[in-house]
Amino acid sequence: MAKTYKGLYPQVYSFENLYASWRAARLGKRNRVAVSSFEYDLEENLLTLERELREQTYQPGRYTNFYIYDPKQRLVSAAPFRDRVVHHALCNVLEPIWEARFIATNYACRVGKGTHKALDQAHRWVKQYQYAFHGDVVKYFPSIDLEILRRLLAKKIADKQVMSLMECILQSGADISRDESPQVCFAGDDLFALSRPRGLPIGNLTSQLWANIYLHELDQFVKQKLGCVAYLRYMDDFVLFTNDKKELHSWRESIRDFLASQLRLVLRSNSHFELLRLSH
């Protein structure tokens, strides 16, 4: 039976964790008014957060929403600074649980990973393999199904108070990006399927971790079920390498079916990078 974790909640609201979380949340932002205001009465603000979390009276504030272009248009949602402290405090406790389970070639939002390491690995495999499939998910963050995400989180977290805090954060950002997600009906859907809660706000540290946990299911499928040795992922962008072109086509269709049936996600199909014949 898979191990589950209990008794985590006191670690989340401990003053030591909140203090460390404040230090992490303020990095690169100390000149901002909200950060300076929180720091002006730091001890009292941290003690207030500690009390609210301990007594489970904590409620997130309102997001500030705006668009960025990088180069695709994305809706970013900025949480109030005190909420970002809580996000760090929660992730400090949750992240080690999944970090030990993530595959080595998951380069998304992890210490010692990142885009440069992902590109280095990709370049090494380009020299070894003839073919590659590069895929990504259509509107990934807005499309994440919250019911499925809750189920994935509950597989490891048996602490009701931690689950309650996660639910509180999920509810605060639910449907912010609903208009950004594609309207898709999957096999077996009923008339109410399109109203399923979905979407994580881009900008939250918790969103980054939960989005990584969500596609850990894809990592396991590709490695264990498809048996792909040369596979890497950076959030919703992933690449598979092989010397067998027919195998690559089969993998692509299997991944498309898995994303749709298990995670309610749509594999992008119009990229000219989808199937590559690698030159050496």
DSSP 106-127: B-SS-TT-SHHHHHHHHHHHHT
Cα maximum dimension of the chain = 63
Give 212-240 pLDDT, tens digit per residue: 999 999 999 999 999 999 999 999 999 99
Give 140-151 pLDDT, tens digit per residue: 999 999 999 999
pLDDT at 25 over 70: yes
Find tokens 């208009």 and name the residue: 179
Give 255-273 pLDDT, tens digit per residue: 999 999 999 999 998 644 4
Beta strands in 204-264 (DSSP E): 230-234, 237-242
Asked whether the beta carbons of 146 and 170 are under 8 A apart, the reply is yes
Give 65-111 pLDDT, tens digit per residue: 989 987 778 899 999 999 999 999 999 999 999 999 999 999 999 99
